[in-house]
Amino acid sequence: MHAMQYELTLPADYDMGIVRDRVARRGHLLDDWDGLGLKAYLIRERGVRGSPVNQYAPFYLWNTVEGMNLFLFGGGFQGISDDFGRPSVRQWTGLAYEEGAGTQARFAVRRRHGFPAGEPLAEVSRDAADEARRLAAEDGTVLAAAAVDTSRWELLHFSLREHAPAGDGDEVFEVLHLSAPGRGRLPRGRQW
């Protein structure tokens, strides 16, 4: 499993209705993309749920590198580049994936933090996988994942939820659409 995300931070007075309309018109285009586990079309609006910015920030979990590369280099990503410029695309190696009991992804929660200095990598990774399992067990959680960017030694915890969390300091996004053609094939549990 591979995680991927890019963020388009938009002007403070940007009409986020433009992004909503774009997703309503184009979101379905990845509903059957080969190699894609899921794509959550995410936005944050300045002043809503603690967001300091207007942002469009789609998040992906890929089943295959080929599917991800076809998206990036075979045309799928070109529309974003044409309309907004080419953003930096972050990638993380999957550590864990868990399904929750929630059914409708309305919000996404993202938490990023560095690996604790001096702690063995195996222990930190195991703890990250345990955290994904804990998040998935929370009421209203649809799914949870943990991943790592080894170029920065940054951990990522990501979850989709039915309800917005109550101010725990994480980044909260609204889900506009969920394309999930290969969600059922995402490997469950620890990825090692």
DSSP string, 62-93: ES-HHHHHHHHHSSTTHHHHHHH----EEEEE
Q: For 127-150, what is each residue's pLDDT tens digit?
A: 999 999 999 999 999 999 999 999
Q: How many residues does this entry show for the chain?
A: 192
What is the full per-residue pLDDT of the chain (192 aa) written as tens digits? 999 999 999 999 999 999 999 999 999 999 999 999 999 999 999 999 989 999 999 999 999 999 999 999 998 999 999 999 999 999 999 999 999 999 999 999 999 999 988 999 999 999 999 999 999 999 999 999 999 999 999 999 999 999 998 766 789 999 999 999 999 999 999 998
Q: Are 155 and 146 in contact (CB under 8 A)?
A: yes
Quote the radius of gyration of the chain (alpha carbons, Å): 16
- Hey, is 168 helix, strand or coil? coil
pTM: 0.96
Instruction: Say how far apart CA 157 and CA 143 lie, in whole Å.
Output: 11
